[in-house]
Each structure stands twice: as C-alpha cells, then as structure tokens.
C-alpha cells in the first residue's frame, strides 16, 4: 500500500499551533491512508465486515467503524465517507496494508473493488471553533452536522468531524492538490500546524489510536468506541458475540483514562510502558503529549479496579513519572452496575 510522505511534527511553534486549534483554527496533514470501496454491493458487503451499521448509510454521510478479530479484539479503526457511489475509509497508515488485504480477501462474489487510494487522496484536517468560517472562506462546502459529507469541486470531499476539538472537518483532497489546499485554507484563516498539535488535542478528547493506545487484548468497550464505532444491536460481523456479551453481562476489565504526569524536566514515558500502583502493574501507557494547558498528559489503559484517586507511576527507569487519573476522563455511568449483573441481582431470592 502506498506510504504517505513523512510529515512535520510542528511548523515552528507547537504550543501556538495547539492554541490555534483550541481558540481559532489550524490545518494539519495527518498522513492518513485511504481505501476506496466502489461497487454496487459496497454497503451490504461492508455491513458484514464492520462493527457499524452501514447497510443503509445514506450518500453524503459518514461514520466510524472497527474491524475486530474472532475474540472481539480491535484490529483496525477507520472513518467512512459515502459519496458519489464510493465508500472511502481513511485509517492510520501503520495498519492500512493489513486492512486492505483483509478487505480484498473477503470480496468473494460481491460486486465491490476495494483499492488503495492513498496515492490519489490526502486527508487535511481543520480543527477549531472557526472551522466553518475557514471552510466557507476557502470556497469549500460547510457540512452542518458531525459526519455529514459534501463533495468538493474538482474531486474530493469534506466531512464534518465531532473531534478532536471544539469543531473539526476532514478534507479528503486530490494528492496532487494538497499543497494548494493547505495554502488555500491558511489564507482563509487556518494556521498551518504539525502532528504534535493534533495529537495533543486528540489525547485531550480521549480518542485512541490502534496499536498505540490499544494492545492485542483491547476490546471496543475499554477505549470508548461504543457507540461511535460499534452498533450494539446489529449482528453479522466478526467478534460480535464478545461485544454483545460484554455489553449485556459485564464490564471490560480495563478502561481508558487520561493521566496527568508529574515529570518536571524528566524524560516522558513512551507507549507500551507500564502503569504501576505500589510497584504492581495495573495498566499500560498509550499516547504521551505535552498539552498547552494541561502539561504532560497521557492516555492509558488501566484496570477497572484502580481507584480514580490512586497514586500511580507511569513509565520505567528514567521515564518513570508520578501520575494521577483525571476523574473527568471517566464517565459517571462507567462505574454503574452492568445491565446483566443488575438483572441477576434482582432475580436472587430474598431472605
């Protein structure tokens, strides 16, 4: 699969770029890989493979979806856009070739032709409360609601996004025109930014990346992909039984949280480092960033039994840093009794 070019971490001032994303607007090339799925069976075929309900996905809309293994563990995450008789799936480049290979192996007799479109299309993302104004000033359509999709003159599309900041939109543009679109958006008021700024806001908004914030045991419930990327009442996809069992009978053993790190001038932890409590491992570190307001923070998968007020350590050796869970990163309902267990409790006889 085509490899996107290496992209800059910042364009001069990563904290100023973050502030632009939080307070006005900035544009970043995220280096996404793109898979195109044309063909008359595209929706019904994808419906059988993905965790999301897409069999009737209207033209001009998008959604998020996952591919799971047989045990319900996350293998791929993607964002879809359905327009002009094609479903476009953009995903993180590290797993893109494996995703495309899986899709191509599952074609059988279906009338679909999944292909690598990364050499044809690039994904620019505008983030910030001025996103709509920037799109309008750049001559692009302005979708009104999250995951609404509109076509671009000359090819490509705009998709409104619900994350990572106050407002955001992805522009999937012809790769030959990516520099021209970046300049056009900058002239319309979006500050050029590098990947560090986007990653900081992604972490703040608790949006995981497969292989960085997940491991080979991660299920969708642990990292907040219910319901944005998983439809709990549809069947007919690999791993569905595990997803349904966790939803109906229990809670996943871990949950994703935001950690505040007390590093001072020390080296930051890295993805995959352990999170420990009293010397015992209770989780793993995911993405680590320097946030313009929060300071050093990280996403982490930790055991559900870890109290929110616990004193933790993230990282090892020279990367070890005291850490605390941000309580706002855990929804209040996360500790409520699971539906199945609550029902079991009601059925127990009283004495």
At residue 293, the 3 state secondary structure works out as coil
SS (H, E, C) 107-143: CCCCCCCCEECCCCEEEEEEECCCHHHHHHHCCCCCC
pTM of the model: 0.92
pLDDT tens, residue by residue, 85-127: 999 999 999 999 999 999 999 999 999 999 999 999 999 999 9
Q: What tens digit of pLDDT does each residue of 217-236 get? A: 999 999 999 999 999 998 88
Q: Are residues 184 and 281 in the same domain?
A: no
Residues 46 and 147 in one domain: yes
Do 154 and 83 lie in one domain? The reply is: yes
The CATH number linked to 68 is: 3.30.1360.120
Count of Cβ atoms closer than 10 Å to residue 300 Cβ: 31
Q: Using a pLDDT cut of 70, give the percent of the chain over it.
A: 93
Structural domain contains residue 348? no
129 and 69 part of one domain: yes
**Is residue 230 situated within a structural domain?**
no
Cβ(128)–Cβ(167) under 8 Å?
Answer: yes
Does residue 131 sit in the same domain as residue 262? no
Residues 140 and 281 in one domain: no
301 vs 337: which has the higher pLDDT: 301
Cβ–Cβ < 8 Å for 111, 40: yes
> Which pLDDT does position 347 carry in this prediction?
39
**107 falls within a domain:** yes
Q: What is the mean pLDDT of the chain?
A: 93
What percent of the chain is modeled with pLDDT above 90?
87
- Asked if residue 1 is part of any domain, the answer here is no
pLDDT tens digit sequence for 115-160: 999 999 999 999 999 999 999 999 999 999 999 999 999 899 999 9
Residue at 36 is within a domain: yes
In a domain, 69, yes or no: yes
The length of the chain is: 351
- Domain for residue 72, yes or no? yes
Helix (H) or strand (E) holding 161: strand 157-161
Structural domains of the chain, count: 2
**Judgement on whether residues 185 and 259 belong to the same structural domain of the protein:** no
With respect to residue 239, please indicate whether it lies within any of the assigned structural domains.
Answer: no
Same domain, 60 and 140: yes
Whether 201 contacts 233, CB under 8 Å: no
The whole domain housing 195 covers: 14-204
133 and 264 inside one domain: no
The answer to whether residue 265 scores a pLDDT higher than 70 is no
Tell whether 190 and 288 lie within a shared domain: no
Mark whether 122 and 267 lie in a shared domain: no
Residue 323's CATH number = 2.40.30.110
């Amino acid at each position: 699969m085509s490899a996107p070019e290496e992209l800059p971490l910042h364009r001069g001032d990563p904290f100023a770029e973050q502030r632009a994303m939080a307070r006005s607007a900035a544009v970043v090339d995220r280096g996404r890989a793109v898979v195109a799925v044309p063909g008359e069976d595209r929706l019904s075929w994808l419906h059988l493979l993905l965790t999301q309900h897409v069999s009737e996905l209207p033209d001009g809309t998008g959604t998020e979806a996952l591919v799971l293994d047989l045990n319900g563990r996350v293998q791929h995450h993607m964002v879809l856009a359905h327009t002009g008789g094609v479903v476009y799936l953009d995903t993180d480049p590290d797993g893109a070739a494996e995703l495309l290979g899986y899709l191509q192996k599952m074609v059988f007799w279906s009338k679909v032709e999944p292909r690598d479109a990364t050499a044809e299309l690039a994904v620019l993302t505008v983030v910030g409360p001025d996103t709509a104004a920037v799109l309008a000033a750049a001559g692009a359509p302005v979708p009104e609601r999250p995951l609404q999709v509109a076509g671009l003159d000359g090819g490509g599309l705009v998709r409104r996004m619900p994350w990572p900041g106050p407002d955001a939109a992805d522009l999937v543009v012809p790769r030959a025109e990516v520099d021209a679109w970046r300049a056009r958006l900058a002239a319309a008021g979006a500050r050029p930014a590098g990947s560090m700024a986007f990653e900081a806001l992604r972490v703040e908004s608790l949006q995981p990346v497969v292989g960085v914030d997940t491991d080979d045991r991660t299920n969708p419930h642990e990292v907040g992909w219910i319901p944005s990327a998983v439809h709990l009442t549809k069947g007919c996809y690999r791993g569905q039984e595990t997803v349904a069992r966790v939803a109906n009978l229990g809670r996943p053993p871990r949950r994703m949280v935001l950690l505040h790190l007390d590093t001072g001038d020390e080296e930051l932890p890295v993805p995959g480092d352990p999170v420990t409590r009293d010397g015992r491992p209770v989780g793993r570190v995911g993405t680590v960033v320097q946030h313009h307001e929060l300071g050093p923070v990280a996403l982490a998968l930790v055991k559900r039994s870890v109290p929110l007020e616990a004193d933790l350590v993230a990282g090892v050796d020279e990367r070890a840093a005291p850490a605390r869970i941000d309580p706002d990163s855990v929804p209040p309902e996360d500790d409520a009794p699971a539906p199945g267990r609550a029902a079991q409790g009601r059925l127990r006889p009283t004495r």
